[in-house]
Structures are given as C-alpha cells and as structure tokens.
C-alpha cells in the first residue's frame, strides 16, 4: 500500500519570495538539481515553485524505505499517474507482474511520456536517502532517455549518483547549490521581520545573516529563540558556532521554552516518520494529537504539512534528528514501548511494512516475526524479496528457528535474490524441527507446516542447480515430487521445471523436454497461463536445438491458441510467443513475416511480456537486420539486448556476446572478436560441453576468418561428434565444415558435407542457415545437385537484402541501404523517435546512422543532408 501523502506537494506557509531562484527553475532543462545541506530550504523552494508553475507536477517525498526498487518505482509511477492520468499504466502493470528488468518498466514509461502533448515536471524530494545501486542505475537510464517535454527536479543534501558531468557538458543540467540557496540580506530581512514579525534593525538582520551565512534553518531556529525576548541585539551578538553547535544550541533553546506537554509530545512522536492525530494519540497514550499538530504547524515549529487537510505531517528532518537524540538521552527506557505502540497502530491500519519496521525498532522480535511471516506471500508475489530479506536478516536466529515456515521461506528468499550462503543451514534447521519429538511452533498455518518437506526438497534442488550440481538437482526435485501433495500444483510444477533445467544444462534435451511438458501440464491445470506460455518458450527452444523447427512452431501456435481462449486482456507472455514465431519465420527465409510478428509483439506492449522478452525481442530483430545486411544496426541491438539480459535458472546456451561476435566476424572486426575469445577464455582444445557449444562454434567461425582453417577443422570435427552424440542439430557445424573444405580447395569433400547438411535441413525448411553464409555458400550450392530445395535456396540468395547500386552516389564512401532508409526519412517531418519506430530500430541506432550520413555527405545538420542528397539524386532512386 502506497502512502498517498508522499505524492502531494507539501503546503508551505510564511514563504519568502525567491524570484531569482524561481527563474532558474523555470528555465531548467532535462534535469535540475537543488543540492544543499539540511535546512537550506530545498523543499520549500521547489514546492513553492511547483505549486505556481502551471505545469503538471508529479511529486514524490522519499524516505529510506524507498531504497527498495519495487517501492521506489511504484511511488514514481503513482505520482505520474496523479499528474497525468493514464501515464505509466503499462509500466505499472509490468512492475506488478513479477520481476521484470527495470529497463523494461522504464522503456514502457518513457514511451508513454513521449506521447504527452504538454510539459510535465517530476520532483523527487530528499533524494539523498536513496542509496540502492539498482535504483540509481534505473534513474540514470531514465534521465538519459527522457523525452523533451519531461523535466526532472531533484532536491537532495548531496549530488545524486547520476551522469551530471555529461549532462552539464550538453547544457542539459541546471544546478542550484548551497551558495544559491542561502538567504541574502533582503531575504533574511523579509523572513525575520515579515514572516516572523521580530522587528529587527537592519544592523541586527545583517549581523544574524552574516553569522548564519544565510543558513535558513539556523535563521528559523534563531527567530524562534528570539520570540518574546527583549534583548534580541544581545542574543545576536552572542550567536556563534559551527552548524552542529548552532543546531544543538538553538534546538535546546526552543525545547526549553516549550510547555512540558508540548516538549513531551515532540520527543515521543519523534520516532515517527509521518504524523497524524490518531497515530500520535496511540504513541503518546494521550488524546489531542490532532489539535497539537495544528498548533505546532501554526507556531512554525518545524512541522511540514503533507496535505491540505491538516491530516498528515512530518518533522523537519534536522529537527527530528535532534529530538530523537534528546529522547534517547532523557527517556531511553521508553523508546521500545513507543515503537511497539506505533507498530500496533500501523498493523491495525493495514500498513504492515511500517508496522514491521517499528516492531524491529522496538526489538519486539516475536511480533515482528509474526508480521513478517504473514507478509511474506504478498511480498514474494510482488517480487519485493530485497525488503523481505532485510527484515529476515534483522530477526534473531532463535526467533526464526521456532517458525519452520518462516525458516523455509527465508531459504527461498535467499535463492530468489541469487544468494546461496546460509540456505542449506536454514533448510537443515527446518528439518530438525520436523524431526523433533516435542514440536513447538509459532507458525501461522498448520497446512503450510504440512507442506514443508516437499518445499524443502524444492529449494534444495534449486540450491544444487545454482551451485552447478545438476545430478543433485534432479535427485532433490524427484524427492520433492514424491513429498508434495498432488494438489500442490505449483510445487509439482516447480520440481518438474528444476529437473528439466538440470537436464537441459547437461545436454539431455529429451529428458528436459519431458520434464517441462509435465511442468506445463501442472501449471495449466492450476490456471497459471502466463507460466504455461513461459514454459512454451523453453519447450520450443529445446526443439530448435534438436533441429525440429516444425515442432517448435507447433508449440508456439498451441500456446497462442491457449492465450486467445482466455477471457479479458491477453495473458502475460503472449508477446513472447510472437517473438518466438518471428525467429522461426526468419529461419524459413520469410523476413517480411518475421518482421510483422515482431511488430505484433511490440503492439501488444512490453508490459505483457515476460522478464526475458525485451532482450529476446532485440535478439530477434538483430537477426533480421543481419539478414538485411544492416550489421551496424544488428550490433546496436545486441548491445541493447546484453544490457537488458535477465538471467534465471535457465542455461544461457546462446549468449548475446557470442551472437554479437558473429556479426563482428562478418564486419571483419577481428580484433574485437579476439578480445571476446580472450575474455571468455576459449580455446580449440577446450573440453566440449553443450553449455559452451554455441561459443565454440563461434570460435570456429573466428578461426576460419583468421585463416586458421586447420585448427577450425579439428574443432569442428570434435563439435560434430559431440552434437551428434547429444541428439542436437549438426546442420550449422556441417555448413562450416563444408566452407572450411572449400577454403582449402577440396570442393568434392565440401559438396559431400554440404549434402549431409541439406538432407537434415530440407524436412524442417531451413533457409537462412545457408543463405547467411553469403557468396561462398552460393557457389557451393550452384555446384551441388540441383534439387528443388537447392533451387529454392539459390532463389533466396537472389532475394536477400535490397541490392542497390551505390556507385552512382558519387561519394568516396557510399551510403549503406539502411543509411539511405534513414536519409529518406530525414526528408520528412518525422522526428528521431518517429524514424526509429518507422524502421523498428532504437533511437540510438538512428542517431548512429545519422552521424554516418553527415560524415559521408560532408554536412553537419539534417537540412543540409537532405539538400545534398537531392543534389546527388540519392532520394529519387531509393525505394
């Protein structure tokens, strides 16, 4: 549950006008950073400007809990949806659907923002509390890709971890620093005499402003201390000290001057990050909290209103820090009880996350454990394992060990966050509890206790898989199948999937396929349609590795039929089916159909895709670009795919860097290829395994390109034997063997090898596996027996790409086909993002092609490029 008051622009009373800073905020570009120490008026400045800006403003007041990425992005999306209804709906659906790569969520959001007709300002207040690297990386991605009508304003005590230097160099950054935020003499006078009504002389104002160096918090504290004094001049004359001393001194002055009931209220409620009347009543044990809060607000006692209804407030952070320090000094024994009361109130109001935080602060670990155990299913469903893990780690071992359900969930949470240390000891502790004669438990569900043995086996199988022990994975997963109830379809499916994954990684593809078929049946029966679609990807991938393209296509088509039978919106995973079908059409040589299926996937929306869909989509499009001859675009897409890659328990048998290395080979970038080989530690003498087979075949390609044909031939012979024994397709290896034999002049041997490849490929309709090899393969096919299949392949060579004459261009370095495509669109009214959508490439790819066009045409802007193209008659002849 999100706290709505965090999404409202704080209401400010008694604000001094600061037009000079408002003007800088108005002219801000992509990013505005308002940075300064505590008490320098950052929030006040931005809130006042935002309230009067006339723009749509999405405001988020951050706190330390927002270091949880899921919570951070949920708040940001909620703020945007308040400012512009409908914006971010798809991103929110994607965020809530599992554990997608954050780039997938942000790309969906960015596309929404790009469609906005008007300017929108996003404000992140107190951003300095955000330390999580995942959040910082996501923010950097968002800033890099913000459309021009979106502005980001960050208020923080320290510079955010964003690429400020790059933005500064581009002129896309406005900075308001501590020196800018400090009150000038006229502003200090307006505050002290106008807002606070102190009636100070110009000399007193100047002296106080000079002593505080315009530090607003110190001026506020000083003003509070001077209220009711007759000796303001003497007070100002004796005012000295550094920031910490000043704050301690002035807060002491303020606290000492408060009535005892006010002072007691301030100290006791300082444990709260947000304050409302009923909550304060619960914590203090006394009525009248709402009245007290209103009085404190009116007295300017460092209380920040969070809404316009005088319902929720927070203390100024600096003030709260000092109040808490005094509370610990004066009433240390009361602190745990105050936190316990707060926990009880939040629990009763449905805010379990805050209730857990206060229970832990109270060291009420028994109650905290109960709350965590109850919250765990929802936390795991929302994929908030990071926050869940922090709670579990805060609980003492002796509290967890009497809760076997929590113990096992702890182990599962560790595995889901890619941690293995401590998992086995937790599972053993749960087993010891189950084996003990005198079982005592604080478990909340006897049914869950009964299911524990099966789930212990499931997690032990997952642990074995993460530790690289497929045999143990299978053993534990089979044990889980024996222990789990037949009606525990999720557990049954998880165990079968782990068996399949272990078998797949070991190269036992048929066993993997059988296990995943069982998993699909369990999940289908349980109604987990999205998971059935995810399993269909694995089933199809296995059949493709076996060279059975027809079976793979039927798997995807069955999954699509199942998706279409569901009521309402398409189930999650539907776009992934179109990506899989696209790849098969590409291999069959139908690039137009392959592209259309990718477009259909994109139209459904990335929020409906599984976590791996974004990188798989880019890989599929990169393969199409390769087939079209646009190798630069293919490399860009592979770069994106690598950045978006999401790993899971599945083996990564076709690594994106290896696919990119194959394009580098085609581009003759052999030094880059050599670096990749060295990075991966590959050698033609390596022991062969299925997991590295794709990389070793890529190495063989590199060796052929480097005229190391003998070494390549020996490696290919070993790869052929290994793949054949493992029941995997040998077509690509045979194709490379034929090319190697051709390279050394043994055409008869090359034709014999090629015939073997053709015999395997024809029943499944392979095409691109031959055509992608280019002219050398075309020459071999012309020398081969001219069957109907061979003739069809040679026809595909004639249709490959869009062969255009470039000699007529009159340029030293002609434009490529894709550059001509971009050049044509530069002559239209389409902007960069529109051109990217038209060509189905990334905006970065369009920019790269545009730079190449400018360089080749000798121009430096779009209009000049179009004019030069017209002079050379490039656009007339370009289709």
Structure-model confidence comparison of residues 308 and 239, the more confident one: 308
pLDDT at 434: 85
Summarised one tens digit per residue, pLDDT across range 63-103 is 988 998 889 999 999 999 999 998 988 888 888 776 778 88
Torsion of CA 697, 702, 707, 712, to 10 degrees: -20
Phi, psi of 783 (to 5 degrees): -85, -10
pLDDT at 228: 67
pLDDT band at 445; cut points 50, 70, 90: low
Mean pLDDT of the chain: 86
pLDDT at 514: 92
* Two tokens, residue 181: 């935020």
Phi, psi of 196 (to 5 degrees): -90, -15
Interstrand relation of 120-125 and 150-156 (parallel, antiparallel or unpaired): parallel
31-35, strands of its sheet edge to edge = 56-61, 120-125, 150-156, 31-35, 173-176
pLDDT band at 523; cut points 50, 70, 90: confident
Its sign, for the CA torsion 311, 317, 321, 322, is negative
Plot region of 300 (φ>0 → left; ψ -120 to 50 → alpha; else → beta): left
pLDDT at 813: 66
Q: pTM (2 decimals)?
A: 0.61
Residue 511 in this model has a pLDDT that exceeds 70: yes
For 459-485, letters b (16+ CB in 10 Å) and e give bbbbbbbeeeebebbbbbbbbbbebbe
Task: Report the CATH architecture of 528-645.
Answer: Alpha Horseshoe (1.25)
pLDDT at 241: 44
Lowest mean pLDDT among 142-156, 465-479, 743-757, 793-807: 793-807
pLDDT at 204: 82
Summarised one tens digit per residue, pLDDT across range 640-666 is 999 888 767 778 899 999 999 999 999
pLDDT at 814: 75
Summarised one tens digit per residue, pLDDT across range 265-294 is 999 999 999 999 999 999 999 999 999 998
Q: How far is CA 293 from CA 264, 290, 315, 351, 676, in A?
A: 13, 5, 10, 22, 64
Within 10 angstroms of residue 675's Cβ, the number of other Cβ atoms is 13
Summarised one tens digit per residue, pLDDT across range 241-258 is 444 545 665 566 667 778
Task: Report the CATH architecture of 4-181.
Answer: 3-Layer(aba) Sandwich (3.40)
Summarised one tens digit per residue, pLDDT across range 105-151 is 899 999 989 988 889 999 999 998 898 888 999 999 999 899 989 99
313 Cβ contact list (under 8 Å, min separation 6): 274, 275, 276, 293, 296, 297, 303, 304, 305, 306
Average pLDDT over residues 154-170: 86
Inter-residue contact 341 to 360 (CB < 8 Å): no
Portion of the chain with pLDDT greater than 70, in percent: 91
Average pLDDT over residues 313-339: 86
Lowest mean pLDDT among 6-20, 22-36, 125-139, 753-767: 6-20
Summarised one tens digit per residue, pLDDT across range 581-639 is 999 999 999 999 999 999 999 888 877 888 788 899 999 999 999 999 889 999 999 99
Summarised one tens digit per residue, pLDDT across range 690-718 is 999 999 999 999 999 988 888 999 999 99
Lowest mean pLDDT among 316-330, 341-355, 655-669: 316-330
pLDDT at 820: 86
Closest by CA to 65, choosing from 336, 379, 365, is 379
Within 10 angstroms of residue 101's Cβ, the number of other Cβ atoms is 19
Lowest mean pLDDT among 54-63, 171-180, 727-736, 765-774: 171-180
Fold observed for domain 807-877: Arc Repressor Mutant, subunit A (1.10.10)
14 Cβ contact list (under 8 Å, min separation 6): 195, 196, 300
Lowest mean pLDDT among 234-238, 480-484, 533-537, 652-656: 234-238
């Amino acid at each position: 549950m999100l706290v709505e008051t965090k999404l409202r622009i704080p209401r400010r009373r008694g604000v001094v006008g600061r037009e000079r800073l408002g003007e800088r905020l108005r002219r801000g570009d992509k990013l505005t950073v308002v940075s300064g120490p505590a008490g320098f008026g950052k929030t006040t400045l931005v809130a006042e400007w935002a309230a009067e800006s006339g723009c749509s403003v999405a405001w988020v007041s951050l706190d330390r809990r927002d270091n949880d990425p899921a919570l951070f992005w949920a708040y940001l999306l909620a703020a945007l949806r308040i400012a512009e209804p409908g914006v971010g709906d798809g991103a929110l659906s994607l965020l809530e659907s599992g554990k997608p790569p954050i780039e997938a969520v942000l790309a969906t959001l960015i596309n929404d923002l790009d469609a906005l007709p008007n300017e929108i300002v996003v404000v992140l207040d107190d951003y300095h509390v955000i330390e999580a690297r995942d959040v910082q990386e996501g923010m950097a991605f968002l800033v890099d890709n913000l459309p021009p009508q979106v502005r980001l304003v960050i208020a923080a005590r320290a510079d955010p971890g964003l690429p400020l230097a790059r933005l500064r160099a581009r002129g896309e950054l406005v900075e308001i620093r501590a020196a800018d935020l400090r009150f000038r003499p006229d502003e200090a006078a307006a505050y002290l005499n106008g807002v606070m009504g102190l009636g100070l002389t110009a000399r007193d104002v100047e002296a106080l402003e000079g002593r505080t160096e315009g530090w607003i918090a110190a001026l506020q504290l000083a003003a509070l201390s001077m209220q009711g004094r007759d000796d303001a001049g003497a007070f100002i004359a004796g005012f000295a000290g550094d920031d910490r001393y000043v704050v301690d001194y002035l807060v002491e002055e303020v606290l000492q001057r408060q009535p005892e009931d006010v002072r007691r209220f301030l100290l006791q409620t300082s444990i709260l990050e947000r304050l409302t009347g009923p909550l304060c009543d619960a914590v203090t044990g006394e009525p009248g909290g709402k009245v007290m809060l209103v009085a404190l607000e009116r007295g300017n006692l460092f209380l920040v209103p969070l809404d316009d209804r005088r319902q929720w407030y927070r203390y100024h952070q600096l003030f709260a820090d000092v109040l808490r320090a005094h509370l610990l000094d004066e009433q240390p024994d009361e602190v745990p009880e105050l936190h316990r009361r707060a926990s009880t109130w939040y629990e009763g109001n449905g805010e379990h996350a805050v209730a857990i935080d206060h229970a832990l602060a109270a060291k009420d670990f028994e109650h905290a454990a109960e709350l965590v155990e109850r919250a765990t299913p929802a936390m795991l469903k929302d994929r908030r394992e990071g926050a869940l893990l922090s709670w579990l780690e805060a609980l003492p071992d002796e509290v967890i060990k009497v809760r076997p359900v929590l113990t096992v969930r702890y182990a599962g949470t560790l595995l889901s966050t890619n941690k293995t240390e401590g998992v086995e000891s937790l599972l053993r502790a749960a087993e010891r509890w189950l084996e003990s004669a005198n079982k005592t438990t604080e478990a909340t569900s006897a049914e869950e206790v009964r299911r524990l043995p099966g789930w212990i086996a499931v997690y032990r199988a997952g642990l074995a898989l993460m530790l690289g022990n497929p045999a143990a994975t299978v053993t534990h997963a089979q044990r889980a199948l024996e222990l789990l109830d037949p009606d525990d379809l999720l557990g049954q499916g998880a165990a079968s999937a782990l068996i399949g994954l272990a078998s797949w990684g070991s190269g036992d593809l048929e066993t993997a396929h059988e296990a995943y078929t069982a998993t699909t049946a369990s999940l289908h029966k349980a109604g987990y349609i999205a998971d059935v679609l995810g399993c269909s990807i694995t089933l199809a991938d296995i059949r493709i590795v076996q060279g059975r393209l027809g079976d793979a296509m039927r798997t995807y088509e069955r999954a699509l039929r199942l998706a279409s039978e569901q009521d309402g919106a398409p189930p999650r995973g539907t776009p992934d089916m179109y990506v899989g079908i696209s790849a098969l059409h590409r291999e069959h040589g139908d690039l137009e159909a392959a592209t259309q299926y990718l477009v259909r996937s994109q139209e459904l929306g990335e929020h409906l895709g599984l976590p791996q869909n974004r990188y798989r989509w880019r890989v599929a499009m990169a393969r199409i670009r390769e087939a079209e001859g646009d190798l630069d675009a293919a490399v860009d897409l592979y770069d994106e795919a690598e950045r978006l890659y999401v790993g899971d328990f599945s083996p990564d048998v076709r690594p994106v860097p290896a696919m990119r290395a194959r394009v580098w080979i085609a581009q003759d970038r052999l030094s880059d290829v050599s670096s990749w080989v060295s990075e991966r530690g590959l050698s033609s003498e390596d022991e062969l395994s299925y997991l590295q087979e794709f990389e070793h075949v890529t190495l063989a390609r590199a060796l052929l390109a480097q005229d190391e044909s003998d070494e390549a031939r020996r490696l290919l012979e070993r790869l052929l034997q290994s793949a054949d024994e493992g029941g995997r397709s040998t077509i690509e290896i045979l194709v490379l063997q034929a090319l190697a034999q051709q390279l050394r002049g043994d055409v008869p041997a090359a034709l014999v090898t090629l015939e073997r490849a053709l015999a395997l490929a024809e029943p499944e309709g392979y095409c691109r596996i031959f055509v992608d090899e280019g002219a050398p393969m075309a020459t071999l096919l012309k020398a081969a027996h001219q069957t109907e299949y061979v003739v069809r392949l040679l026809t595909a060579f004639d249709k490959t790409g869009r062969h255009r004459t470039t000699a007529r261009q009159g340029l030293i370095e002609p434009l490529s086909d894709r550059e001509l495509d971009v050049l044509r669109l530069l002559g239209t009214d389409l902007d960069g993002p529109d051109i990217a959508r038209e060509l189905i490439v990334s905006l970065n790819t369009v920019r790269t092609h545009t730079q190449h066009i400018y360089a080749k045409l000798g121009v430096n802007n779009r209009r000049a490029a179009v004019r030069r193209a017209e002079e050379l008659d490039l656009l007339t002849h370009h289709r």
